[in-house]
Structure 1
Amino acid sequence: MPTLAAADVSGFVVRAGFLHDTPYFALGGGEVVFLAGTQIRAAAHRGGLLAADERPDGSALVTGGDDGRVAEVRPDGSVAVLSERPRKWIDLVACGPSGAVAFASGRTAFVRLSDGKEKEFAHARAVGGLAFAPKGLRLAVARYEGVTLWWVNTQGAPQQLDWPGAHHAVTFSPDGKYVVTTMQETALHGWRLSDGQDMRMTGYPAKVKSVSWSVKGKYLATSGANAAIVWPFFGKTGPMGQAPLQLGARSDSLVTAVACHPKEDVAVVGYQDGMIILCRFSDNAEVLMRRPGKAPVSSLAWDRHGLRLAFGTEDGEAGVIALE
């Protein structure tokens, strides 16, 4: 049976996860809490913490806040300010290869390179989401009416992927073949990069706020319905013409967070009432990981071994669930 160890945190959990084997909880109040034997609290921001992303090597967490700071937080509690935009809100951050960090405020996206130099990428409308490609220093910027793809180290014109509507979070498939966005409307939109082919994924009763790629990128799990909607991305046409899996269906609560396992075709599903279950893709078998709590699950993440799960909710319930 799974065992749960609660964490002593408070407020909205913006992101829960692991840096190597150390659990962390990035909190809306500006702190990052690490569970390293004892709790280590790092004051990342003077105001609210709005966004967080992990370095690809697991060495640190990069955060953005309403104090205009981009901060790097390490498990020992040390905090370094990477960049600062006074009187701006940094509500989007993304970590990329070679030490690159992207962040955004308003209509401008910035990339800070490992040597400290920064590059600006201006857009006609507000930036909705950021993501680095799995290979090469390429940045996807979600925006109104589509996505712009920038090669960070070149001066050439960016690639434009257009589709009507407001696009928010953006993600590359692990193999780099697809780009997918969540939208202001209750839908996803995707593009196959080889030829720009559009992919529409609709039918959600609520906005999609959480997405997670399965191991090897065969599936994309999403929130926004009364089950985790899991789109197949194998074959030449991706999800087009294929019905999605529906995992952990419930009639009384919407899915608010999803996280695919790093080694197996299973996913954890968090709900509006705080419940968390583990679902297997092949037969939809379920294991209860956490009973309903006081608030919606806001973040879920596996450790690198797939043996522990960090979770957080909108009102500060948080902890680590171990499968062993």
Structure 2
Amino acid sequence: MPSIAPYDLGEFVERTVFLGDTPVFALADGHLHLPAGGGSVLQAHDGGLLCAAYDPFSDRLLTGGEDGKVMALGAKGQLSELASIGAKWISSVAGGPNGAAGFGSGRTAYARAGDGTLKQRAFERTVEGIAFAPKGFRCAIARYDGASLYFPATEAEPAFLEWKGAHLDVAFSPDGRFVVTTMQENALHGWRVSDGKHMRMTGYPAKVKDWSWSAKGKFLATTGAPAAILWPFSGKDGPMGKAPLELGTRGDTMVTAVACHPSEDMLAIGYQDGMILAVRFQDQKEALLRRGGTAPVRTMAWDGGGRLLAFGSETGEAGVVDIAG
């Protein structure tokens, strides 16, 4: 039976990540909690934390806040300031290759190269989400009526991938072949980067608020339903013409968080009532990791070895599950 080390952090958990073997919880009040080994608390922002993301390229946590700052917490616990743009809110952050980082504020997207050079580009619409391609210094942003692809180091005009509606977040597939966005409506939309071919992913009863790529990028797991919805991306056309997998179906509560295992075809699924299941793709075998809590699971993350799972909720309930017991 899995064992849980519980924590009561007393604040909305925006993001949890593992930096090396250390679980980190980024709270909406601007603090970062590192509870293991006696525990420590770092203040990343004056005022609220608005966004946080794990940077898989550099094994660090990136955060943005109401104070106009972008901060980075490294694997050794060092907290550093990457950028400060004054009295402007940072709405999205992302890590990129070779130490790059990107962030959005209002209608401006910023890209910081590994050497500290900061480039900015203005768009006609608000920059809702930002992501880096897995190779090269190329960014995607989510915006109203679609997504834009551009190279921050050049003055070339961005390529616009159009689809009507409000697009809130954006991600490249791990192989760089596809760009996918979450939308204000209950849907995802995607494009094939090589030719802009559309991919519609609809049928959700609620808005998709969390997603996770599986090992090797075969599937994109998403929330927004009473089951985790996994779209297949291994073929040349992505999920088009293919039915998604539905894992961990429960008729009485919604999936609110997903985290794919780092090496196996297995998914951790968090629910509205605080329950967490682990489910295998192939046979849909389920293992109960947490019976439930008092609030929806907001965020989850595996450690690199795939044995420990950190989770955080909307009320500050948090913990680390050891699936080996």
| TM exceeding 0.5 | yes
2:116 aligned with 1:79: no
Which whole-Å CA distance do the structure 1 matches of 2:237 and 2:213 have between them?
17
Look up the match of 1:193: 193
User: By how many angstroms is 1:150 displaced?
Assistant: 1.0
1:281-306 per-residue CA deviation (whole Å, 9 max, x = no partner) reads: 11111001111111111001111111
CA distance in 1, matches of 2:141, 2:259: 23
Residue in 2 that maps onto 1:103: 103
Residues 297 and 314 of structure 1 are in contact (CA less than 8 Å); yes or no, is this contact kept in structure 2? yes
Identify the range of structure 1 (146-155 vs 41-50) with the bigger mean alpha-carbon deviation.
Answer: 146-155
Aligned to 1:149: 149
| Amino acid across the alignment from 2:15 | R
What is the identity, as a one-letter code, of the residue corresponding to 2:270? Answer: G
Matches within 5 A, 1:155-194: 155-194=155-194
After TM superposition, list the pairs within 5 Å mapping 1:199-278 onto structure 2: 199-278=199-278
Matched, 1:306 2:306: yes
Offset of 1:79 from its aligned partner? Answer: 2.7
Question: CA 1:58 to 1:281, structure 2 compared with 1: closer, same or farther past 3 Å?
Answer: same
- Give the whole-Å Cα distance in 1 for the aligned partners of 2:59 and 2:193: 31
Identity of aligned residues (%): 56
| Structure 1 residue 75 displacement after superposition | 5.4
Determine helix, strand or coil for the equivalent of 2:216. helix
Shift of 1:54: 2.6
Instruction: Tell me by how many angstroms 1:55 deviates.
Output: 3.2
Which residue of structure 1 lines up, in the alignment, with residue 116 of structure 2?
116
Q: Hey, what does 2:90 align to over in structure 1?
A: 90
Q: CA deviation at 1:117?
A: 1.9
Asked if the contact 1:42–1:73 (Cα under 8 Å) also holds between the matched residues in 2, the reply is: no
CA distance in 1, matches of 2:321, 2:130: 29
Task: Say what the alpha-carbon RMSD is for the aligned residues.
Answer: 1.3
Counterpart amino acid of 1:226?
P
Aligned residue pairs, count: 324
- CA–CA distance in 2 between the matches of 1:319 and 1:155? 46
Q: Is the 8 A contact 1:161 1:191 kept in 2?
A: yes
3-state DSSP class of the match of 2:203? coil
1:32 — aligned with what?
A: 32
Match of residue 7 from structure 2: 7
Give per-residue Cα distances to partners, 1:181-234, cap 9 Å, x unaligned. Answer: 000100000011121110000000100001111111111100000000111112
Indicate if the aligned counterparts of 2:33 and 2:42 stay in contact, CA closer than 8 A: yes
Deviations 1:130-157 (A, max 9, x none): 1111111111001001111111222222
The answer to whether the 8 A contact 2:57-2:97 is kept is: no
1-side partners of 2:136 and 2:75: how far apart? 28
Indicate the residue corresponding to 2:283 in structure 1. 283
Q: Is the 8 A contact 1:40 1:76 kept in 2?
A: no
Partner of 1:323: 323
Q: 1:23 aligns to what SS in structure 2?
A: strand
Task: Give the counterpart letter for 2:267 in structure 1.
Answer: A
Structure-2 change in CA distance of 1:19 and 1:198 (3 Å): same
- Report the TM-score, using the length of structure 2 for normalisation: 0.97
2:159 & 2:172 partners in 1: Cα distance? 15
Name the aligned partner's letter for residue 159 of structure 1. A
Residues 295-321 of structure 1 deviation map (CA, whole Å, 9 limit, x = unaligned): 111001111111110100000000100
- Superposition deviation, residue 81 in structure 1: 2.0
Q: State the 1:38 CA deviation.
A: 1.4
The AA in structure 2 aligned to 1:276 is I
Deviations 1:13-57 (A, max 9, x none): 000110011110000011001134111110001111111123335
SS in 1 for 2:35: strand
Aligned partners of 1:43 and 1:79 also within 8 Å: no
Q: Distance in 2 between matches of 1:91 and 1:128?
A: 7
- The answer to whether the 8 A contact 1:41-1:77 is kept is no
CA shift, 1:58, in A, is 4.8
State the distance in 1 between where 2:8 and 2:73 align. 19
- The worse-fitting range, judged by mean Cα deviation, of 82-91 and 170-179 is 82-91
